[in-house]
């Protein structure tokens, strides 16, 4: 998104749920950042999608719906085509270690919500 101004919808959802439900970042930060970076930005759908991902708003995803980025890769980029394009170091020794432990962060988030 930072390079091209575009981001696939699946990646948007995974990013939004990671930030809001695992890192507990206010969804409004994501709205502002995406508004600055996306070329296809549309205010109503951007705000609605962030609220949906965060588990708040009129048509929110339940708080227990927390996407696992690794599972999403296995389902939607199983050949790692997008990963190889945007993160060529993925799966190598130079790829950064995970920021969080998904299982622990998910449990914490569910208890917090």
pLDDT above 90 for 22: yes
**For 93-111, what is each residue's pLDDT tens digit?**
999 998 899 999 999 999 9
- pTM for the predicted model, two decimal places: 0.86
Q: Which CATH number fits domain 9-112: 3.30.1330.60, 3.30.1330.40, 2.60.40.650, 1.10.579.10?
A: 1.10.579.10
Q: What is the token pair recorded at 11?
A: 């990646």
pLDDT at 15: 93
Q: Which residues of 1-34 are buried (b: 16+ CB within 10 A; e: fewer)?
A: beeeeebeeebbbbbbbbbbbbeeeebeebbeeb
pLDDT above 90 for 91: no
Directed axis angle between helix 9-17 and helix 43-54, to 10°?
A: 50
């Amino acid at each position: 998104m930072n390079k091209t101004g575009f981001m696939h919808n699946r990646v948007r959802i995974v990013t939004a749920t990671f930030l809001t439900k695992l890192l507990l970042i206010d969804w409004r930060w994501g709205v502002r950042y995406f508004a600055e970076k996306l070329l296809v930005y549309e205010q109503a759908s951007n705000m609605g999608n962030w609220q949906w991902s965060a588990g708040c708003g009129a048509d929110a995803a339940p708080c227990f719906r927390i996407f696992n980025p690794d599972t999403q890769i296995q389902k939607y980029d199983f050949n790692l085509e997008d990963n190889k394009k945007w993160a060529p170091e993925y799966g190598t020794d130079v790829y950064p270690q995970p920021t969080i432990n998904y299982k622990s962060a998910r449990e914490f988030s569910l208890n917090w919500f």
